[in-house]
Amino acid sequence: MRRREFLKVTAGSAAFPLFSIGEPAAAKKKIRLGLIGCGGRMGLGIHYGILNNMCGPDEEIVCMAEPDPNRWDRVRAVVKHHQPTTDTSKIRAFYDYHEMLDKMGNEIDAVAIATPNHHHAIPALLAMAKGLHVFVEKPMALTIEEVRLMHAAQKKSGVATQVGNHGHSDEGMRRLVEYIQSGAIGQVREVWAFNDRLNAMMYNPPKADPPKGMDWDAWCGPAPMRDYYAPTEDHNGIHPRDWHAWIGYGNGAIGNMGTHILDPVFWALRLGEVHPTSVEATDLKWGAEGSWTWRNTLHWQFPARKGMDPLTLHWYDGVKDGIPYKKTHV
């Protein structure tokens, strides 16, 4: 399935319209894209499969913003693989997305944001203010306040937007939701959700210098400035992998994996239509200074929804007492 078709039939967030430029199928004008964030999974912050689908005959990667220049050539290599005739040296690279949007805003149609969570809202807001369409990786933003600002900006600008949550686009998940909503299993009054990811630090890893040439200040951006922690044999550090663990940068295990695990729960049981009547934390374990908790047990009470009884949702993550920290937990 081509990217245009994919984006027309899938949505990463029910709060937003589909990310589709809206041109007729016969239109041949390429969609000019700017990438924001080029670290992370497979060496690419923009998920590898998504970038692959943005390198077809209908798309053109025009520019990218990434404060670690060691990652620029990885993007160019992927583009070159899919578009052998493209001169990837012409893909302009910037350390800071502010500069990229200032200089290239009139030369692109859309941006794809795959930064750490603390950099989701600002580039999305700046892009929408320029009339650019926006794809942003999950979670939509670092805070609820940022989500509301982004939602309001989309309503004002009218641009196409999408939040990337690949599980939400899965055919099996859609069928599961339809199955539950049809009443096939009757009323659901209690749900238990589990996650074995830590996405936290039990103790601080050793400090280190950022990678050569990296603009660490730009990477920290609007978050509180903190030390750089390099990946080691025992830790994933903070860049490029486990920024999820750090307050002000990520949202811990529930912000990383909860967006996947709880998505079908909220979707099938229509929990997004109401607010919880109570939220209780019964087991929190704090570790390294500035890190999220390495164990959480949370409970939500939800009122009745149309045709559905009140519901209790339980969330468990982390490891038991006495289990030593391992980077593989992340």
Specify the amino acid at residue 233.
E
Domain stop point among 135, 168, 201: 168
pLDDT value at residue 9: 35
Tell me the average pLDDT of the chain.
87
89 and 209 part of one domain: no
pLDDT value at residue 202: 87
157 and 190 part of one domain: no
88 and 208 part of one domain: no
Q: Among 141, 84, 86, which Cα is nearest to 116's?
A: 141
307 and 321 part of one domain: yes
d(CA 246, CA 205): 12
Domain stop point among 168, 191, 213: 168
pLDDT, tens digit, 9 for 90 and up, residues 9-53:
333 333 333 344 455 545 568 999 999 998 755 445 555 566 666
Q: Which residue has tokens 């109570």?
A: 278
What secondary structure does DSSP assign to 138-203, as a single string?
SSS-SSHHHHHHHHHHHHHH---EEEE-GGGG-HHHHHHHHHHHTTTT----EEEEEE----S-SS
Q: Can you give the residue range of the structural domain that contains 84?
A: 3-168
Residues of the chain scoring pLDDT < 70: 1-28, 40-53, 329-330
179 and 131 part of one domain: no
pLDDT value at residue 166: 82
CATH number at 142 reads: 3.40.50.720
152 and 185 part of one domain: no
pLDDT value at residue 31: 93
Task: Sort residue 290 into left (φ over 0), alpha (ψ -120 to 50) or beta.
Answer: left
Domain stop point among 124, 143, 168: 168
105 and 227 part of one domain: no
Using an 8 Å Cβ cutoff, are 261 and 298 in contact? no
CB atoms within 10 A of CB 186: 8
229 and 292 part of one domain: yes
194 and 262 part of one domain: yes
pLDDT value at residue 101: 99
DSSP percent split of the chain into helix, strand, coil, nearest 5: 35, 20, 45
Q: What is the pTM of this model?
A: 0.87
CB atoms within 10 A of CB 224: 11
Domain count, the chain: 2
